[in-house]
Structure 1
């Protein structure tokens, strides 16, 4: 081989002129150029792929930072259970599959991640046992309320700051007189027994305490008014009421409850303790980001806290857990049950250690020496009937009283109203011993068996008629006072007052049956009774009457049975309790479903769907939905930042459906304006994007498969893809490792990509699906919205607002102020405008808003024109990501079959308003 030829493979410079001009040499050069071109293309494509994979890894790290600092929900909006739970699952997945090397600190973090829920529950559990937080608040309320309540009658001469029960322990003489306790007549007139002077001081102190309580509530924390159980139930159902569980509300309610109890008003403190406990349960999760930044997970803690509130109020930890499960919580998975049980365990042990009831195991510790007899079931059922009827009366009358209060001048002077009610209540209650004493003391006395002690003559057989008359008068007075008192601007509950009603009625019935049996012991009805003694225990009737009345007011069964057992320590009356509660519930439900809390929810129009109730409406999704003609939609590309900002600034709705294009109205996804605002704010803060920057709702990184081929052929990439790897017009709001947007420079064009913020798979249903199925989706899955699609085309959207309007209709009365100024003053339509339903409009862009009633009528009218079998087919539901419509060839995106059906009058496509281009006008596509 010539020497020159051997050098040709090493260097082109070594090749001689004769050889370089040969055909073989030319062919070799071409082959080498082709190989070099392919190698260079491969290297560039691999580098680009590596860069994009690295960006994807950085995006995964940034996702967690972004999701942690994002404010997802605004005030008075509904959370998306599915979205929050998926965020938590993604967070756990990233932590488990992280690329960080294993280290001691990493293992500590993993242990903390796995145990922080138990740590948090332990704190709340101990709180319910009177150690910290809830326990301190409960202890404060009990001690201060007892002392202030006794101040109305007098003071302790030895230590003025203690209550009468402590002052007179071991101090009573033979006449049952406590020398250490001075009533106000002995202080003013130096002589005991002047009832008129004591009466005046009783009225004076009651009025002052109630007025001070109302002043704190109205001036500092309006959310502290009322029981709070209805609002807690709504919050646990997925609604956001900022400030309702805040620190200021907690302080004011804790300070106001002792004043309310001491004022003697005919309301209780046990219901508000649920609110107080949830306030504490809302504070502790701030120490645990896993729960504080995830609203769905936080509600698991609030469910346990609400059970702790009942445990504190009644000394019934197991009943508190069951109460939270049966009455309050909408989402109560098995693990929450286990954690709540652990909370109850800690609470029970702590209660035994602290011994808060001075030697008694439970709050109302009673023992009954006689068993119950089967003939008494008749009277137990009568107690249940009374409980159900009294619950119906309370719900109906109190609703009218609160409506009158909101429409009268009383709403302008809440403190004067409270003062007048307190003075009037004290004036009439002082005259009857059974209305003068504290409600808890009255219940304990009514539950007692006569063999234990005599409570103000209840066991005096000679004066039985007079005692029964006093009990009947006390029952009537307490029913009337509680009915008109609940709803004023003070913390107030309904549990103990309703129990007092039932206990008074039960004691009257028990004393009556006892007297009958004693005077007619040969009657066949009493054949099982011993001939030489009484077999009727009036205290049992009082206990069953109390639980029956509480069941009639709340419509609960299981948890109340357990609560009553824990309150009294009696386990021999399971069958009577069950019979009484079931009767009360049946009677109450006969006149209307839902208890007192549900009445408050409906009256205040809170967005709550009760998962325990099955409503039959008889409509389809197309008749209930907000039709697409009233929606403002975005398209995937063609919009600018200025368009988005203008829509956000002027709109009242909370999100936008995103369509594929003007020619193809296939639903691509849904984006909330919270996410839109967040993306724009981060982009402005980090890079100061211009209003002219383009916005797309598709994932540019996901389309990498065609980049290598286009790079090899030299094809330009536009509209959301890379023009080149080093100078991209692409703007990724998720790509920076610090959670801030990253901008690729080198081009005058800037593109804001928002695909990561888009919900690509919203739940959707067919237009002909029954609304009952949609309700089940909302109750069991907890979405903020459900899309209505036909062959992939958007037909409308359904939210809780639409379902509630379909269930209850448009009420004629206007909503007035109820103590929640920025929330319940609006009608349901305005209230639920905070939902993702796009019921509002941007007047300058999209025209006027159709009223809700007209909207539903129009939707129903359009739906009636549809033929389900020909237009839509059978109803199904799924995710939008799994639906691909057939090709659309016209501007309205309809298929040939749809257009033919429309010409025949079988199908009329619903219009869609699409915002695109400059955003200065909307295109209504029919």
Structure 2
């Protein structure tokens, strides 16, 4: 979607006025009821107060239901994902529905202890490899086909779009039932196929769809966009909470990453939703380990100050990794949009097949990413060995394997994230950081063993392990996640809740501060923000930009305006049909252009249609958008939100013969600014107040209007702190993909020509 595409947006000022009108109306009803009963306690009085109590508690009830459903859905997805991931390698003779962990439960899932119930598909290595690849291709094909046929919005992560929805951008169907169902069904298939994508981002999308479906059943939320936004924000917090087993981290994620306007009431609702979802997931215990996530660990060993230099290395890696992945992934996305738009299924199957063919031969790429992290996070002294990971004799072989896994998975993430299946980037990034961090930890441990008497290791005691490579994997995962998402506080809290140890809070903060510094130095935005810019969504970022321009630089001077008096109904309807805009400024006349107010297109069309139902209106009837001097102006905007007031306003509009009074639907106090106002101030108005449009006037004369999309059209060179990385810049990877595509097209043409010649000779 480009910025030129007409999109719908929510006017938060209008929504707040509507909500205020409803509250005033309810208060008047309560006051009228008291007046009728003279303050006596009657049955109607009790019923009204009980109803008021139920309405007040409705939000907390809805949030609790949403949290419970999110927890149940997350548990089911986790169980199915584990089974599908293991079925690629073998099956359980005791029950086909059991994965390897449950099949070998008595042996605690130890692969080396010889589980008789778990059978590999074949004893031949080549056959096992072929079956592994075949399963990966089949799972990815089913997932991509379902997404393409039934719910195209189920593809991708969904975080970028949800950020836009929470800011007021309307995307019909993105949080609908089919999107929820297909994404819930295909997410386990995609993860089990081995594609280098994660389920944490899609989990947020599924959680918000759950919140939208549940809250939409209640009129209080379906008619108020601000209340629905609170539910969606709370649901996004619950989505992260069940993904990482981190309720507080989920709340902070919704504050730091998702929502632009966050108040105390929304925070408490988010906390309750995340808490209920986490408790539900814990009660279902999908991994039968008593832990909320598969890679949850506990560290009780202290760290040493000399390790800070290695922590800084991990932080630098996180920043460089984020910049590298974001830049080249957007180039791949540009190539995908240009050439692969109609080949989503083939692309997903090809990527899954290539990933399986390559990853099978690396021990850290072959297994599921969450399982890989659970292995890399372990301490060697507590039974954490996996295929000689903790053996000194195999340390350099492990270093090579971890380095290769880091490099290959980084490339696979770049080309896989954004394909037409549910795809997140949280866990893949953490898995990459974990392999790199474990590699650094093994190297540091090898240095200690080689030079135990060095001054750097003087604080180490001979009888106590000095270096814990698992903690380096843990810190590397945090660095990579922070580098690609550009979030810091949330990652610290999530990692704290994963480990349950305050000991490594300081190292985590050091690593993430270095990661953020490197990202800021390179001018990197988070991948969600870059995806928003790439897709052209009208979204204003949280960070403040300094523009070397006034608002007159971007405002629209050619506008469709309505005159306050003198226009016929036919003229107004012609304007509505010809002008594809969200609303019309109202002026006194074309010469003075004195601003009177603003009216939305939908409100105007609805008012005219309802007036026609009450009385036959001819096209030559005069319309007035301003009240007579003796009439009392009323800016309630009641026609949008309340049927009773709508009917009253329509009856008033058609009361006078020969004239249609439309001024009750006019916003007589629109938000206006001067044309000389700096553009960054206008940006703050859009961010904090959320209007759909801001009118520009000089000395009472209307000179233009501006919207969010107009501001986003500003050229990058006019932004004084514009980022270095831009998706539109052609890079090496983009050029290489273009060359590869050209080569494949030429080869296809050659094969077709050869086949035609052979077929002609046979005839």
Give the TM-score, by structure 2 length. 0.88
Please say if 1:639 is aligned against 2:567: yes
* Residue 181 of structure 1: aligned partner: 118
Please say if 1:136 is aligned against 2:72: yes
Q: Secondary structure at the match of 2:502?
A: coil
Runs of at least 4 residues of structure 1 off by over 6 A? 733-737, 743-747, 809-815
Residue among 600, 624, 642 paired with 1:696: 624
* Residue 395 of structure 2: aligned partner: 464
CA shift, 1:170, in A, is 1.0
* Residue 775 of structure 1: aligned partner: 683
Please say if 1:323 is aligned against 2:245: no
* Residue 272 of structure 1: aligned partner: 202
* Residue 826 of structure 1: aligned partner: none
Q: Give the distance between the partners of 2:81 and 2:296, measured in 1 at CA.
A: 21
Mark the CA change 1:319 to 1:759 in structure 2 (over 3 Å): closer, same or farther.
same
Please say if 1:474 is aligned against 2:474: no
Mark the CA change 1:374 to 1:646 in structure 2 (over 3 Å): closer, same or farther.
same
Contact 1:75 1:241 in 2 (8 A): no
Contact 1:366 1:570 in 2 (8 A): no
Mark the CA change 1:807 to 1:316 in structure 2 (over 3 Å): closer, same or farther.
farther
Contact 1:734 1:756 in 2 (8 A): no
Cα deviation digits, residues 528-560 of structure 1 (max 9, x gap): 222455411100100000000000001111111
Mark the CA change 1:744 to 1:518 in structure 2 (over 3 Å): closer, same or farther.
closer
Residue among 11, 33, 50 paired with 1:101: 33
CA shift, 1:663, in A, is 4.8
Q: Give the distance between the partners of 2:92 and 2:395, measured in 1 at CA.
A: 34
Matches within 5 A, 1:420-499: 420-453=350-383, 454-499=385-430
Q: Give the distance between the partners of 2:535 and 2:232, measured in 1 at CA.
A: 22
Mark the CA change 1:771 to 1:221 in structure 2 (over 3 Å): closer, same or farther.
same
Residue among 774, 793, 816 paired with 2:701: 793
Please say if 1:151 is aligned against 2:87: yes
Mark the CA change 1:607 to 1:110 in structure 2 (over 3 Å): closer, same or farther.
same
Q: Give the distance between the partners of 1:652 and 1:807, measured in 2 at CA.
A: 25
Contact 2:15 2:224 in 1 (8 A): yes
* Residue 827 of structure 1: aligned partner: none
Contact 2:568 2:620 in 1 (8 A): yes
Q: Secondary structure at the match of 1:582?
A: helix
Mean Cα deviation higher: 278-287 or 335-344: 335-344
Residue among 256, 279, 304 paired with 2:186: 256
* Residue 446 of structure 2: aligned partner: 515
Please say if 1:118 is aligned against 2:60: yes
Q: Secondary structure at the match of 2:703?
A: strand
Q: Secondary structure at the match of 1:579?
A: helix
* Residue 231 of structure 1: aligned partner: 161
Mark the CA change 1:632 to 1:788 in structure 2 (over 3 Å): closer, same or farther.
same
Cα deviation digits, residues 284-322 of structure 1 (max 9, x gap): 112322221111221111100000101111111111011
Residue among 663, 677, 695 paired with 1:755: 663
Cα deviation digits, residues 782-831 of structure 1 (max 9, x gap): 1111111111111111111121112547999799xxxxxxxxxxxxxxxx
* Residue 216 of structure 1: aligned partner: 146
Please say if 1:765 is aligned against 2:673: yes
Q: Give the distance between the partners of 1:814 and 1:754, measured in 2 at CA.
A: 50
Gaps of 5+ in 2: 35-43, 634-641, 719-725, 731-763
* Residue 417 of structure 1: aligned partner: 347
Contact 1:389 1:587 in 2 (8 A): yes
Matches within 5 A, 1:877-916: none
Q: Secondary structure at the match of 1:287?
A: coil
Mark the CA change 1:143 to 1:734 in structure 2 (over 3 Å): closer, same or farther.
closer
Residue among 131, 137, 160 paired with 2:96: 160
Q: Give the distance between the partners of 1:737 and 1:230, measured in 2 at CA.
A: 37
Q: Give the distance between the partners of 2:134 and 2:691, measured in 1 at CA.
A: 53
CA shift, 1:494, in A, is 0.1
Q: Secondary structure at the match of 2:597?
A: strand
* Structure showing greater relative contact order (alpha-carbon pairs closer than 8 Å, 6 or more residues apart): 2
CA shift, 1:362, in A, is 4.0
Q: Give the distance between the partners of 1:220 and 1:431, measured in 2 at CA.
A: 35
Mark the CA change 1:248 to 1:533 in structure 2 (over 3 Å): closer, same or farther.
same
Please say if 1:406 is aligned against 2:342: no
CA shift, 1:462, in A, is 0.9
Cα deviation digits, residues 383-436 of structure 1 (max 9, x gap): 01000000000000001111111222x222211111111111111111111100
CA shift, 1:361, in A, is 3.8
Q: Give the distance between the partners of 1:174 and 1:248, measured in 2 at CA.
A: 40
Residue among 470, 473, 489 paired with 1:539: 470
Q: Give the distance between the partners of 1:758 and 1:594, measured in 2 at CA.
A: 40
Q: Give the distance between the partners of 2:237 and 2:308, measured in 1 at CA.
A: 31
Cα deviation digits, residues 182-221 of structure 1 (max 9, x gap): 2111xxxxxxx31111111111111010011000111111
Q: How many residues align?
A: 697
Contact 1:76 1:242 in 2 (8 A): no
* Residue 45 of structure 1: aligned partner: none
CA shift, 1:375, in A, is 0.9
Please say if 1:564 is aligned against 2:495: yes
CA shift, 1:696, in A, is 0.8
Cα deviation digits, residues 616-664 of structure 1 (max 9, x gap): 111111222112xx11211111112211111111212221110123453
Contact 2:478 2:495 in 1 (8 A): yes
Mark the CA change 1:369 to 1:382 in structure 2 (over 3 Å): closer, same or farther.
same
Contact 1:362 1:569 in 2 (8 A): no
* Residue 854 of structure 1: aligned partner: none
Mark the CA change 1:83 to 1:736 in structure 2 (over 3 Å): closer, same or farther.
closer
Give the TM-score, by structure 1 length. 0.72
Q: Give the distance between the partners of 1:754 and 1:557, measured in 2 at CA.
A: 51
Please say if 1:582 is aligned against 2:490: no
Mark the CA change 1:704 to 1:427 in structure 2 (over 3 Å): closer, same or farther.
closer
Contact 2:121 2:128 in 1 (8 A): yes
Mean Cα deviation higher: 653-662 or 348-357: 348-357
Greater Rg over alpha carbons, structure: 1
Residue among 591, 598, 601 paired with 1:670: 598
Gaps of 5+ in 1: 1-73, 128-132, 186-192, 707-732, 816-926
* Residue 742 of structure 1: aligned partner: 651
RMSD of aligned residue pairs (Cα, Å): 2.4
Mark the CA change 1:176 to 1:649 in structure 2 (over 3 Å): closer, same or farther.
same
CA shift, 1:351, in A, is 4.4
Mark the CA change 1:467 to 1:704 in structure 2 (over 3 Å): closer, same or farther.
closer
Q: Quick check: which one's helix share is greater?
A: 2
Mark the CA change 1:782 to 1:740 in structure 2 (over 3 Å): closer, same or farther.
closer
Q: Give the distance between the partners of 1:796 and 1:540, measured in 2 at CA.
A: 58
Q: Give the distance between the partners of 1:750 and 1:264, measured in 2 at CA.
A: 71
Mark the CA change 1:746 to 1:444 in structure 2 (over 3 Å): closer, same or farther.
closer
Q: Give the distance between the partners of 1:648 and 1:402, measured in 2 at CA.
A: 38
Cα deviation digits, residues 480-538 of structure 1 (max 9, x gap): 11111111110000000000111111000010011101211222222222245541110
